[in-house]
């Protein structure tokens, strides 16, 4: 039988791993899309917040209801939400366990798109198709750049963006993109 201390340490380690796992979409090199319908509460909302794009159906409701359980969000939910909507709105949602309807989530910038309930899969597939047509090397670079500079000063972010821009200018995908543009044809990117 485990002692209380060993059990507590084990539980803390498990919770720390949960937060790491919830952040997987943010660490993924490729774009990650969350498609939300109905209730998107607690950890489900935290996973969604870690994604690059969030499409919600009109029936989607978002919440971090942990306060009603005597707890706070534990996997980055309040931190990510605050970056998106500011401290006032985050306090309103977290401290009151307030539910946010999809249309308001769109207005606040929490979701990328709000669609009719029956259109969620179609809208998600359309976004996937759009993203597939973009140069993968440029997408990976943009995602990493945006994630890495989220908390950077403006001058540092501009410097890192310039370095990224310079590196991509030497890529096969950049040459293909420019050639295709001039030839008025669709580019065929290879990710190099």
The closest of 145, 144, 139 to 177, measured between CA atoms, is: 139
Q: What is the pLDDT, as a whole number, of residue 8?
A: 59
How many residues appear in the chain? 192
26-36: average pLDDT:
96
Sign of CA dihedral 121, 127, 132, 136: negative
| pLDDT-based confidence at residue 19 (cuts at 50, 70, 90) | confident
Mean pLDDT taken over the chain: 91
Q: What is the pLDDT, as a whole number, of residue 91?
A: 96
The Cα 120–Cα 113 span in angstroms is 10
Positions annotated as catalytic residues are 46, 66
The Cα 98–Cα 130 span in angstroms is 34
pTM: 0.85
Q: Which domains, and CATH codes, for the chain?
A: 4-131 (3.90.226.10), 135-183 (1.10.12)
60-79: average pLDDT:
92
7-33: average pLDDT:
83
């Amino acid at each position: 039988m485990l002692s209380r201390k060993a059990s507590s340490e084990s539980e803390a380690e498990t919770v720390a791993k949960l937060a790491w796992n919830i952040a997987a979409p943010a660490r993924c090199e490729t774009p990650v899309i969350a498609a939300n319908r109905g209730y998107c509460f607690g950890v489900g909302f935290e996973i969604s917040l870690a994604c690059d794009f969030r499409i919600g159906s009109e029936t989607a409701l978002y919440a971090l209801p942990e306060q009603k359980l005597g707890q706070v969000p534990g996997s980055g939910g309040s931190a990510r939400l605050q970056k998106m909507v500011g401290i006032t709105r985050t306090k309103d949602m977290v401290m009151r366990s307030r539910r946010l309807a999809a249309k308001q989530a769109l207005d606040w910038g929490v979701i990328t798109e709000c669609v009719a309930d029956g259109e969620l899969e179609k809208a998600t597939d359309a976004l996937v198709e759009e993203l597939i047509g973009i140069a993968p090397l440029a997408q990976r670079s943009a995602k990493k750049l945006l994630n890495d500079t989220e908390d950077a000063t403006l001058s540092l972010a501009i410097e890192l963006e310039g370095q990224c821009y310079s590196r991509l200018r030497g890529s096969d995908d950049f040459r293909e993109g420019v050639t295709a543009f001039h030839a008025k044809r669709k580019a065929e990117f290879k990710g190099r």
